[in-house]
Amino acid sequence: MIVPSTRTIAWATALAGALAMAIALTAEHWLGFAPCMLCLWERWPYRVLIVLGLVAAMLPHGVARAVLWFAVLVTIYETGLAVLHLGVEQHLWRSPLPECYAPQFSGGNIAEMLKSMPSRAVKPCDSPTFLLSFLPVSMVAMNVLYALACVLALAGAMWCTRRHST
């Protein structure tokens, strides 16, 4: 069995975060999909993964391993966020973020209603977005699978390097 080096795992970690961010930003800016607030929160762990991967690639072996184990925790956190979002999307529970709900306008005149509108369009977090119309899997569900795959791949690679370095 070929065991990847710590540096290779670090670059793969940064690449995994960059791929997730590239897909999210492409869907938003080129395909015109509006992200909800939970979608925006889910991007932060991927940004952290990019930084951790790049930092680990520059550090000595022992310190890099510690940074990469922290990256495993970040991917577990990302998976949890994605599962939370999927539950909201499937109406299993309510979102903890008030920004996830469509604005409610009540009474008053038109000027008051316009004043109470949010400055940025809000997409409800329980409204699924499908990247591929022929595939009935939402982007959030794909993110759950991707984040879980990242956790398993990163933790597995780190475990293999641990077993072969002792």
Split at pLDDT 50, 70, 90, the class of 166 is: very low
Architecture of the structural domain at 6-101+122-165: Up-down Bundle (1.20)
Structure tokens at 108: 């008053």
The whole model's pTM is what? Answer: 0.85
Q: Looking at residues 137-164, what average pLDDT do you find?
A: 92
What's residue 7's pLDDT? 96
Judged against a pLDDT cut of 90, whether residue 134 lies above it is answered with no
Split at pLDDT 50, 70, 90, the class of 141 is: very high
Q: Give residue-wise pLDDT tens across range 14-55.
A: 999 999 999 999 999 999 998 999 999 999 999 999 999 999
Strand residues in 27-165 grouped as ranges (E): none
CA 60 – CA 30 distance, rounded (Å)? 39
What's residue 97's pLDDT? 85
What's residue 12's pLDDT? 97
DSSP 44-76: HHHHHHHHHHHHHHHS-HHHHHHHHHHHHHHHH
Q: Give residue-wise pLDDT tens across range 63-114.
A: 999 999 999 999 999 999 999 999 999 999 998 888 776 555 565 676 665 5
What's residue 124's pLDDT? 86
CA 48 – CA 81 distance, rounded (Å)? 14
Domain ranges of the chain: 6-101+122-165
Split at pLDDT 50, 70, 90, the class of 115 is: low
Q: Give residue-wise pLDDT tens across range 62-72.
A: 999 999 999 99
